[in-house]
Amino acid sequence: MRGCVLVCSVVASCASPEPRAGEPVISVVASHVISSGPIAYDLGFATIGLPMPEHLMFGGTDWIANGEACALESGVGVNLYPAIRAIASSDGGDLPSATGVSGLVVEMAGPAVARVRARWAVDYTCEGHTNTASGDALFTLFPTGRIIRHDQHVIGSNVGLNGGSGACGCTGGGSYFLTSSWAFPDSVTNTSEQGAALPEPAPGVVRACAIDHEHGIALAWPDDHTRIHPNGANAWVYDWTNNATTITVGEHELVTRMQLGSIGDCATLLAGLAAPELQIAGHPTSLSADGIYEVAGTPAGTFTIETAGAVPAGWAVEVDLGGATHVKLHGGADESAGWYVLQRDPIAMRTLIYFRDALAAGSTITVEAE
């Protein structure tokens, strides 16, 4: 499912301007997504049990922690307290469902942007009934350290829970939490956007950072249904359901945006998650759920990308170029449109244009499809 990848390099057939680096900057090797820069990191997925992230190596530290008992949040994944944890087995995750689908699917393997889908399903017994929880965790990863996690089709129970009594996981049924979480090591300092240390617990935070000396990770959620460090482990939790007596059969989704950086300032890290609207081929275009500007339809052979606000480094546009296989870019701050790579999205059958450099407010880039 990896499709054809087009990388501009120092070959005569490549469109001008040529990029300033020709080697792939992100790749998928076995179950690892590896970025070689400008932010170097390695996100590894479990190969035994559920295929969820089990380590994130960055700045000499593994940023995924575990240690909570019962079904409290640990590692990275989805949790239905007190019944199940859909996380890597090395972090205390449950066994995959005997009937549901679990597995890792590489949807894009670079060379500039990677996208990996972790499908998970867990069977459990609660309120005297056999249940299955399931969902997808879609990770889109950029070499500038941006990681977009999109939880999709999350179902806490395929039959529904109504608060009845009886055994349920580590306790009895009757009060449920359905959450998406990421657990950081206790050694990091949790800070607000202004740089102040967060209390423990810290409910209702929309943007915050985990800082470890000169390195840090910023997180942003769509709303304040959150809890940071609510239990013994340093879990960062988003609540779909908080202390409820019922779990319905309906689906849930969530986009969690993360920015890794070699800097200990939270405001600077969060600035890397800025998402200004662009005008692409004359149409207002916002970031999609996977962090890419996706253009509807097939633009004319020549079209423009315009921005009123500054676009952080490492951004990408996905477009249907028709039969074109190359582009020429003009504009940007230095009139060369900077370093870029073309990459094929084999799922959408469209072309992704990745820009390494930031785009200044008020800039225009002209794209000529060839």
Matching residue, tokens 């009594």: 165
The per-residue pLDDT for 337 is 60
Say yes or no: 161 and 310 in one domain: no
Domain end position, chosen among 242, 271, 300: 271
The per-residue pLDDT for 4 is 30
Say yes or no: 231 and 291 in one domain: no
Say yes or no: 47 and 123 in one domain: yes
Kindly tell me if the per-residue pLDDT of 170 is higher than 70: yes
Kindly tell me if the per-residue pLDDT of 104 is higher than 50: yes
Say yes or no: 161 and 45 in one domain: yes
Say yes or no: 239 and 156 in one domain: yes
For 281-330, how does the pLDDT look when each residue is reduced to its tens digit (9 = 90+)? 999 999 999 999 999 888 888 999 999 999 999 999 999 998 888 888 88
Is 9 part of any domain? no
Domain end position, chosen among 243, 271, 299: 271
Distances (CA, A) of 98 to 50, 120, 143, 197: 12, 11, 36, 44
H-only helix segments in 84-128: none
Is 182 part of any domain? yes
For 23-52, how does the pLDDT look when each residue is reduced to its tens digit (9 = 90+)? 689 999 999 999 998 999 999 999 999 999
Tokens of 168: 């349920």
Domain end position, chosen among 255, 271, 287: 271
Say yes or no: 48 and 121 in one domain: yes
Say yes or no: 116 and 263 in one domain: yes
Tally of domains in the chain: 2
Say yes or no: 300 and 196 in one domain: no
Is 72 part of any domain? yes
Is 235 part of any domain? yes
Kindly tell me if the per-residue pLDDT of 11 is higher than 60: no
- pTM, two decimals, is 0.92
Place 9 in a pLDDT band, splitting at 50, 70 and 90: very low
The per-residue pLDDT for 332 is 65
Say yes or no: 234 and 122 in one domain: yes
Say yes or no: 214 and 357 in one domain: no
Say yes or no: 240 and 341 in one domain: no
DSSP bridge partners of 119: 103, 136
Q: What residues contact 251, with CB distance under 8 A and at least 6 apart?
A: 152, 153, 154, 155
Q: Which domain holds residue 109?
A: 31-271
Is 23 part of any domain? no
Say yes or no: 191 and 289 in one domain: no
Q: Average pLDDT, stretch 338-342?
A: 85
Distance CA 139, CA 155 (A): 18
Higher pLDDT, 286 or 214: 286
